[in-house]
């Protein structure tokens, strides 16, 4: 009979008969009763047959559900951490359930295998009525314990499970071959129709074929190929890996996967993270769904999109994979409690998470990852544990780490201040202690090599901006503890693998400053590091020659770094033998199109017991990048992995062009070459210009401005609270500094932001933008606004913090007006768009005597010649509001939509009305700033009546003291113009007249000032 679930023959009649033995049910039905009741007895018998058959069905179905490991992900060991399989099974047996017909189903995403053990392997497929993932999030929603769905919504979710048989065959045989392992499993929309099973009873280090079949049909999956691992004690001469990381679907094609798969030289594929990206990039290979990922359905759909790539399918079909995740499987720059784009705060929850918390988002991402990847969950009590190890004979232990999501400390902002803290950890104490124990166990058991697969660069690499905070250099104590364990326990033959950086790096592993190290010989190191480039994610977005210049700087700036290349996308082929490890780096000359070209870049050898790269490093020559003590000899000799033929190949374009690149957007790389070019530009400027721009090179001035909450929050509110104005707009940030306004604009939904700044702080800004995951939205250009070419012909909005002391001293207003006239659309907006200077008279006798009167008697000497100088220089300082003697007068309002540079020189009369009887020692000036385009207009003031700002106020001391009475007026005129020699300095003249009936108090004067 059919099982009633999927149509397969499941329950032989003799089982039902045995279950309903006549003797057993006679006692219940009483056959000696009258005929009417006899008819009832027959009906009861029929019902009992159905009931018992259903019970048998349910038992068998539950067993088949258990065969699919994805029902146990992330955990079924505890009631609140697993899908309730009995509920799923009962739901499937409900009356009216209609099974999918086999012809309506497809193996939508091929097959895959992974996590090889010596006697078992994980097999994966997806069988579904369509490519699309089920839109329901019921497995992660609802006011119930995690994954415990005792709810009607859940029970009714998917009444039609799909039955799948699987079988493993000897290599080269499928149909008619001996089956060495087999089983049955069900899948439903609860787990996105995925199937993940463990094939057991296999032989070690053996290649097998495998296939899935829809139960009771001829609908079969593609034939897969896989390989088990050796036993821990096997004498294995060689194990080979292909190592990958960072595959960004919209950025380029996955040629590296296909090239390695077609060459067919490795035993296993290794992926070190960023298997998917959570972004919302557009273009030729636009992301699906077209938004940032937050929900379970989002992550499932993204995994499904990536698995449609033919090269990725080919690689999964033919090789067992060992994987770990990095940040983009969840969210950019992730750590234990959040990421650069979403943190555990109420503000971030609403503004960044769209109502999805950090933990919920991570749970969604983790569930999708385990559903779609052929990976074991080694500890069902720990649903975030992905760190694990593989013992491969007496040859090697492959140790896989999670330096990203498991228990990583804070990974955002002020890393330079805390990178050396002893508490800093990439892994958390549980994983970290496990790691050290694994290293020791591996050494003690006699494994020849320890291969450590982790996400991020282990070596200490100084960039032009200093040390990164996003790799092991941001967690110095953790790295030192690891090095100490290796050195103290004399654990050698260590090979660290890394991804994440999108570039190639090869280094000796050494505890610098603690252990002696000779860069020429490599003596003193404890191992090596092979950090690989990306499959398709952007590295150095520049032509190959400038990329080589950057590589030369990096190699020259870091003693342990032996080779570096940031141009090519590609992978590492790693051959591990008893006496040596060889790493061969391969590149794809372009990922802008799908192609089968594979170029050898460099080869490196590590000999057993030497714990360093063999000299001469790389054999003394490489294809690309920069090699310490060697030469770079480009040949462009490239292998076609489809035909097996070699040819000289070159491409002009590395990546799929984004809209930014089509407009000649410059590289976002912050490197020494760019800094040196910028510094040369500054040196060629006039001294006054040098002084001005150099003053913004140091982070200190930016720290002061960022900490000015009046200034920074006003800009933030004006931008972020007006998303309707910024959404899908192109924004220009004039004098972008550290790019804080640019990032506000991205948060407000800007389509793209161009930031321009002449000072070298912009190179730090590029790093800031990158670590905040906005490099695809923000283009930063170093240079003068008047001399550069923007990647967009017009912009919709200009934002700028252009104001200086007294509004106009060292301001950038003339540059903003230049940008307005050249780039702003006709109906474009300016933030802010209005500025007003105010002046009032103050009583400040004590401070005036201290600052000005001081020169009358300096240790008994007359220093009055300096008194005139002191009087001519306005004082930038804070003034208490109680010092104000007069009402404020509005001097000038500048409308940035209409004013011109000619308006920045002016002569304006104004009148000050006295509030009380007092003395006026000085005039004080400040300014107010308005953002009138906002839905709710925003204004901030720098005056003495409001909260402190870094602009403070500007005090102009008068030569004489005015004695005033309430209601009297002081008539003034102010003349302001840029200095003839330095346009950023100001020449200011203030004329004043006190008209009063008291001739003894009448006063008139003129004071000249110079702000420089």
Among 775, 801, 843, 968, the one annotated catalytic: 801
Instruction: Report the helix count and the strand count for the chain, using DSSP H and E.
Output: 25, 42
Question: Which residues have CB under 8 Å from 432's CB, separation 6+?
Answer: 425, 426, 478, 481
Round to whole Å and give the CA distance between 375 and 71. Answer: 14
Neighbouring residues of 271: CB distance < 8 A, sequence distance ≥ 6 = 244, 245, 321, 322, 323, 324
- Tell whether omega for the bond before 832 is within 30 degrees of 0, i.e. cis: yes
What would the 3-class secondary structure string for 90-102 be?
A: HHHCCCCCCCCCH
CA 601-605-611 angle, 5° bins: 135
Across 456-567, the runs of DSSP E, i.e. the strands, are: 462-463, 466-467, 494-498, 504-509, 527-531, 561-565
582-591 as b/e, with b when 16 or more CB fall inside 10 Å?
bbbbbbbbbb
Token couple for 173:
């045989």
CA distance 811 to 106: 65
Omega of the bond prior to 289 within 30 degrees of 0, cis?
Answer: yes
Q: Identify whether 810 is a catalytic site residue.
A: yes
Q: Which two tokens stand for residue 754?
A: 């161009």
- Enumerate residues 6+ apart whose C-beta is below 8 A from 595: 253, 255, 588, 589
502 in Cβ contact with 669 (< 8 Å)? no
* Coil vs helix vs strand at 531: strand
> Is 801 noted as a catalytic residue in this protein?
yes
Nearest alpha carbon to residue 824 among 786, 787, 790, 798:
798
Q: Whole-angstrom Cα distance, residue 398 to residue 400? A: 6
CA-closest candidate to residue 550, choices 540, 560, 558, 559: 540
**308 burial level (CB within 10 Å; 0-12, 13-18, 19+):** middle
Burial class (CB in 10 A: 0-12, 13-18, 19+), 44: middle
Contact 11, 53 (CB under 8 A): yes
Q: Is 148 left (phi over 0), alpha (psi -120 to 50) or beta?
A: beta
**With b meaning 16 or more CB within 10 Å and e meaning fewer, what string describes 565-578?**
bbbbbbbbbbbbbe
Q: What are phi and psi of 495, to 5 degrees?
A: -125, 115
Do 495 and 527 touch, CB atoms closer than 8 A? yes
Q: Quick one: 841 exposed, middle or buried, by C-beta within 10 A (0-12, 13-18, 19+)?
A: buried
- Measure Cα distances from 541 to 544, 566, 888 in Å: 9, 9, 54
Catalytic residue among 810, 850, 995, 997: 810
CA angle 663, 668, 669 (to 5 degrees): 140
DSSP for residue 343: B
First-to-last CA distance in the chain? 97
Dihedral of the CA atoms 353, 356, 360, 364 (nearest 10)?
A: -80
DSSP 251: G
| Spatial separation of the C-alpha atoms in residues 691 and 695, rounded to whole Å | 6
Among residues 671, 735, 737, the alpha carbon closest in space to that of 699 is found at 737
| Cα 550 to Cα 626: distance, rounded to the nearest angstrom | 9
Segment (H or E) for 605: strand 597-607
**Residues known to be catalytic:** 801, 810
């Amino acid at each position: 009979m059919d099982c009633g679930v999927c149509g397969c023959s499941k329950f032989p009649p003799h089982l039902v008969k045995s279950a309903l033995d006549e003797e057993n049910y006679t006692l219940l039905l009483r056959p000696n009763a009258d005929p009417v009741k006899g008819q009832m007895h027959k009906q009861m018998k029929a019902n009992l047959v159905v009931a018992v058959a259903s019970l048998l069905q349910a038992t068998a179905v539950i067993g088949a559900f258990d065969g699919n490991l994805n029902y146990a992900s992330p955990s079924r060991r505890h009631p609140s951490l697993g899908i309730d399989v009995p509920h799923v099974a009962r739901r499937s047996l409900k009356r009216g359930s209609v099974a999918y017909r086999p012809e309506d189903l497809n193996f939508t995403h091929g097959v895959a295998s992974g996590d090889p053990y010596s006697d078992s392997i994980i097999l994966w497929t997806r069988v579904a009525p369509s490519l699309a993932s089920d839109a329901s999030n019921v497995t992660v929603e609802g006011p119930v314990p995690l994954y415990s769905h005792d709810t009607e919504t859940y029970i009714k979710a998917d009444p039609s499970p799909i039955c799948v048989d699987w079988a493993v065959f000897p290599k080269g045989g499928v149909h008619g071959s001996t089956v060495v392992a087999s089983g049955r499993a069900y899948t439903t929309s609860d787990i996105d129709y995925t199937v993940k099973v463990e094939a057991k009873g296999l032989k070690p280090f053996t290649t097998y074929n495998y296939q899935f079949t829809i139960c009771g049909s001829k609908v079969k999956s593609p034939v897969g190929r896989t390989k088990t691992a050796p036993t821990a004690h096997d004498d294995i001469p060689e194990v080979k890996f292909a190592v990958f990381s960072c595959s960004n679907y919209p950025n380029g094609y996955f040629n590296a996967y296909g090239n390695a798969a077609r060459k067919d030289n490795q035993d296993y594929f290794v992926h070190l993270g960023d298997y998917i990206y959570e972004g919302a990039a557009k273009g030729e290979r636009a992301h699906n769904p077209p938004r940032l990922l937050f929900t379970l359905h989002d992550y499932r759909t993204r995994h499904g999109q990536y698995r449609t790539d033919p090269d990725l399918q080919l690689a999964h079909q033919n090789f067992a994979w060992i994987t770990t995740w990095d940040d983009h499987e969840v969210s950019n720059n992730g750590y234990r409690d959040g990421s650069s784009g979403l943190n555990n705060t109420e503000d971030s929850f609403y503004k960044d998470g769209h109502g999805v918390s950090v933990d919920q988002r991570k749970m969604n991402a983790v569930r999708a990852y385990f559903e779609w990847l052929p990976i074991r969950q080694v500890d069902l009590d720990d649903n975030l544990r992905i760190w694990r190890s593989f013992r491969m004979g007496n040859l090697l232990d492959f140790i896989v780490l999670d330096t990203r999501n498991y228990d990583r400390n804070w990974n955002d902002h002020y890393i330079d201040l805390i990178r050396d803290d002893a508490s800093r950890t990439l892994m958390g104490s549980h994983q970290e202690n496990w790691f050290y124990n694994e290293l020791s166990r591996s050494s003690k058991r006699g494994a020849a090599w320890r291969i450590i697969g982790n996400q991020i660069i282990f070596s200490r690499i100084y960039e032009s901006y200093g040390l990164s905070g996003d790799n092991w250099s941001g967690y110095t104590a953790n790295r030192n503890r690891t090095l100490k364990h290796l050195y103290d326990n004399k654990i050698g033959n260590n090979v660290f693998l890394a991804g994440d950086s999108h570039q190639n790096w090869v280094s000796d592993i050494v505890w610098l400053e603690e252990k002696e190290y000779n860069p020429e010989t490599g003596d003193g190191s404890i191992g090596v590091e092979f950090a690989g480039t990306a499959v398709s994610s952007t590295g150095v977005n520049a032509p190959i020659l400038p990329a080589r210049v950057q590589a030369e700087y990096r190699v020259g700036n870091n003693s342990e770094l032996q080779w570096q290349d940031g141009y090519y996308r590609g992978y590492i082929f790693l051959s591990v033998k008893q006496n040596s490890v060889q790493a061969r780096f391969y590149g794809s000359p372009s990922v802008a199109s799908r192609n089968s070209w594979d170029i050898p870049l460099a080869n490196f050898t590590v000999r057993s017991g030497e714990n360093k790269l063999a000299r001469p490093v790389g054999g003394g020559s490489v294809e690309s990048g920069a090699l310490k003590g060697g030469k770079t000899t480009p040949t462009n000799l490239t292998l076609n992995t489809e035909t097996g033929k070699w040819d000289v190949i070159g491409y002009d374009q590395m990546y799929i062009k984004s809209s930014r690149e089509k407009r000649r957007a410059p590289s976002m790389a912050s490197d020494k070459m760019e800094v040196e070019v910028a510094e040369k530009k500054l040196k060629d400027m006039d001294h006054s210009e040098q002084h001005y721009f150099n003053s913004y090179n140091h982070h200190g001035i930016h720290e002061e401005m960022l900490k000015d909450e009046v200034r920074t929050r006003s800009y933030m509110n004006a931008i972020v609270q007006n998303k309707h104005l910024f959404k899908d707009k192109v924004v220009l940030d004039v004098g972008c500094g550290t790019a804080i306004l640019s990032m506000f604009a991205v948060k407000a939904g800007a389509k793209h932001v161009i930031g321009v700044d002449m000072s070298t702080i912009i190179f730090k800004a590029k790093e800031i933008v990158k670590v905040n995951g906005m490099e695809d939205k923000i283009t930063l250009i170093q240079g003068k606004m008047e001399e550069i070419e923007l990647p967009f012909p017009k912009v919709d909005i200009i934002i700028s913090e252009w104001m200086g002391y007294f509004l106009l001293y060292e301001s950038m207003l003339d540059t903003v007006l230049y940008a307005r006239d050249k780039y702003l659309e006709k109906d474009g907006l300016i933030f802010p768009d209005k500025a007003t200077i105010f002046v009032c008279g103050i009583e400040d006798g004590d401070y005036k005597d201290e600052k000005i009167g001081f020169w009358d008697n300096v240790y008994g000497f007359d220093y009055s010649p300096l008194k005139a100088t002191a009087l001519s220089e306005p004082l930038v300082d804070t003034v208490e509001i109680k010092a104000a003697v007069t009402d404020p007068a509005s001097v000038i309002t500048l409308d940035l939509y209409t004013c011109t540079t000619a308006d920045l020189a002016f002569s304006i009369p104004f009148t000050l009305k006295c509030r009380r009887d007092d003395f006026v020692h000085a005039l004080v000036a400040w300014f107010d700033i308005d953002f009138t385009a906002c839905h709710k207009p925003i204004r901030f003031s720098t005056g003495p009546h409001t909260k402190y700002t870094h602009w403070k106020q500007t005090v102009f001391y008068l030569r004489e003291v005015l004695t005033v009475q309430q209601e009297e007026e002081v008539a003034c005129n102010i003349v302001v113009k840029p200095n003839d020699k330095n346009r950023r300095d100001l020449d200011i003249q203030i004329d004043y007249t006190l008209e009063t009936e008291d001739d003894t108090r009448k006063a008139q004067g003129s004071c000249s000032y110079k702000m420089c």
